[in-house]
Amino acid sequence: MTSFYLSKPYEPPQAPQNLPLNKPWALFGGISPDRFMKQYWQKKPLLVRGAIPAFSLATQNGECLDSPVSAEALIKLASNDAVESRLIQSNPWSFDAGPFSKKSIPALNKKNWTLLVQGMESHHPAAAKVLSWFRFIPDARLDDLMISIAGIGGGVGPHFDSYDVFLIQMCGRRQWQISGQKDLSLNPKLPLKILRHFKAEHEWILEPGDMLYLPPHIAHDGVALDSGCQTWSVGFRSPSFKELLQEGLWRLAESLESIPELEQKFSDPMQKATAHAEQMPEELIEQITLKLRDLKLDQVDRFLPGITAYLSEPKQQAFFDGPINPLSPRLFSKHLRSKKLLPNPQTRILSLGKTVFCNGENVSQGQGQDIIQAWQTLSAKKMLLGRKLQSSSQSSLYQAYLAGWLVFESSRLG
């Protein structure tokens, strides 16, 4: 009897709401997320064979699983100006940013090219489901899920990242070489950030379903061995302290607008004659010191809301469309009792204690307790269902629905 393979797309499952953090996971080769974070996170690489068991199980059953996202779908997304995409070709190296016409992307059987499509969790439900597997890592650290599709020989050259990344092989094979080298100098003659001197210390070929975790600053080079090779990269951002403090200070400065006492002019009726007019007056320094102390501007709690708001901002390419026929506040409240309310795939929600920030806005400020609790549930569970809320056109929950930040399940994008 002649054997044959039936190729069908893999369907990633949604992770459960309550992740078993101390139980072994196939995704990490039989260790728990607790152990992964203690032994590997930000410390050393981890190669996992069969991280997605469905691929090897399908092969055993005489089937062949393909990527959840087809090459055609990726090429179509790369033509959209709302989607961040890049085309990299080697021999010689070249770099172009999208959007791309279909004709400008090489055919799958051509060699030495790679198409990178960022933020896939916003454009395809399968990518969003894969991201749900990693919610044992704080949402504030998440960057996005990028898919690279390549012809044979395709890659982006030996390089290093300043963030943590999980590289999941979804279609075809890719050869990975990695190094813990200290020399991370770049070749100034190339249009890409490619290492000048790359010396591989380990080498593996990843099959569909395999995964490689790399902490920051591990040099690596991935080369596609098959046409249409797909690697899914789940990246976790590491903003600099400069970036965080600048953003926190900027938002803190904005918040001072709501404090009327600060409109008061500085006065110094007790100022004495001075022989050092060039020096900042002690009276001014003392009064500013007292103001900073009164406003608690010397405490981290005043900076954290601005930093959280910044980290909850969506990607620059994010675009939100409100509902075409929006529900009235009363019908919106009624829908909440029986339908799931979900964040738009491009929406980011973070919590600072009991305060919730959505897409850069403090959505719990000035809200009733029922709305605040609804936002807290959305932040923690990424869904809201079975809630009886006061119907109000001014509630931040309803306003977020009108803005397209929140959508009911049947109308979810992607």
Question: Is the CATH code 3.40.50.620 the one for domain 329-411?
Answer: no
Where does CATH 2.60.120.650 sit in the chain? 6-236
Position 414 confidence tier, pLDDT thresholds 50, 70, 90: very low
Q: Which residues, in sequence order, are bridge partners of residue 168?
A: 211, 232
Cβ atoms within 10 Å of 120's Cβ, excluding its own: 26
Question: Following DSSP, what letter does each residue of 158-183 receive, concatenated?
Answer: SB--SSEEEEEEEES-EEEEEE--S-
Return the pLDDT at 389. 83
DSSP letter for 365, please: T
CATH number for the region 6-236 comes to 2.60.120.650
Q: What is the pTM of this model?
A: 0.91
Return the pLDDT at 413. 47
Position 42 confidence tier, pLDDT thresholds 50, 70, 90: very high
The rounded distance, in Å, linking the Cα atoms of 112 and 332 is: 51
The per-residue pLDDT of the chain, averaged, comes to: 93
Asked if residue 300 has pLDDT above 60, the reply is yes
Contact 381, 17 (CB under 8 A): yes
Where does CATH 3.40.366.30 sit in the chain? 329-411
Count of helix runs (H) and strand runs (E) in the chain: 10, 18
pLDDT digits (tens, 9 = 90+) for 139-173: 999 999 999 999 999 999 999 999 999 999 999 99
Contact 143, 165 (CB under 8 A): no
